[in-house]
């Protein structure tokens, strides 16, 4: 890619803000993520609602670094990626392209993914724009919906359907941990009875 083409790519990347992107993780975590089996019994399914994966992606950050050799751009510092109703925040986001098209976003450090129905946090993540479009969070993953909390180590979200799967490889018993707080119900009142005469 020549300098002129790279200069044209930079504003395109900035205008194309992606939603949930997580970072490329270390080799052991990558191998774990690769073994993710959606049918595994240790996973929990949660629906985050459907998402418009064709919406424009907007990315903002403190700095941007582009590498002409590798054709990779990296956003550094307070990175925010927005697509429709999804928002992703991270310390750093690396953008990869294939044949000039945005392919994947890798998010590193303090990753926060916000949808209209819940919030998920993790150490790193990957937003893959190839069908099926997915967001993967890894590390200490915490999913919060209202006052309900689920914890695991890998969460994969299908961005077209909103369905997510949470697994807990490496946690005690490889089991997902959940805490649900029922809404309080008013105390039932029984009609007063007259004392017998």
- CATH code, domain with 69: 2.60.450.10
Query: What are the tens digits of pLDDT across the range 58-97?
Result: 999 999 999 888 888 999 999 999 999 899 999 999 999 8
Give me the domain span that covers residue 63: 3-28+44-179
Tell me the C-alpha distance between 90 and 72, whole Å: 17
Residue 40 confidence (pLDDT) above 60:
no
Q: Which two tokens stand for residue 135?
A: 């967001």
Instruction: Answer whether residue 197 is part of any domain.
Output: no
- Over residues 41-62, the mean pLDDT reads 72
Rg (CA), the chain: 21
Band of residue 196 on the pLDDT scale cut at 50, 70, 90:
low
- Residues near 128 by beta carbon (within 8 Å), at least 6 away in sequence: 103, 104, 134, 135, 136
What are 81's strand-pairing partners?
59, 88
Looking at the domain assignment, is residue 186 inside a domain?
no
Count up the domains in the chain and report the number.
1
Is 35 within the bounds of a domain? no
Within-domain flag for 187:
no
Is the pTM higher than 0.85? Answer: no
What gap in Å lies between CA 36 and CA 193, rounded to an integer? 61
How far apart (Å, rounded) are the C-alpha atoms in residues 75 and 94? 6
């Amino acid at each position: 890619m020549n300098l002129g083409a790279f200069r044209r790519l930079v504003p395109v990347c900035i205008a194309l803000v992606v939603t949930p992107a997580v970072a490329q993780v270390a080799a052991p975590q990558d191998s774990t993520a690769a073994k993710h089996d959606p049918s595994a019994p240790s996973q929990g399914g949660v629906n985050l609602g459907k998402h418009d994966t064709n919406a424009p992606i907007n990315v903002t950050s403190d700095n941007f670094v582009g590498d002409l050799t590798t054709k990779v751009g990296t956003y550094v510092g307070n990175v925010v990626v927005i697509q429709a109703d999804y928002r992703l925040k991270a310390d750093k986001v690396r953008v990869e392209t294939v044949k000039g098209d945005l392919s994947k976003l890798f998010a590193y450090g303090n990753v926060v993914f916000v949808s209209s129905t819940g919030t998920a946090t993790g150490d790193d993540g990957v937003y893959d724009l190839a069908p099926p479009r997915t967001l993967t969070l890894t590390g200490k993953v915490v999913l919060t919906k209202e006052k309900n909390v689920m914890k695991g180590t890998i969460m994969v979200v299908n961005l077209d359907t909103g369905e997510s799967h949470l697994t807990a490889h490496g946690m005690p018993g490889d089991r997902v941990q959940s805490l649900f707080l029922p809404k309080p119900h008013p105390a039932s009142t029984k009609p007063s009875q007259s004392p017998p005469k």
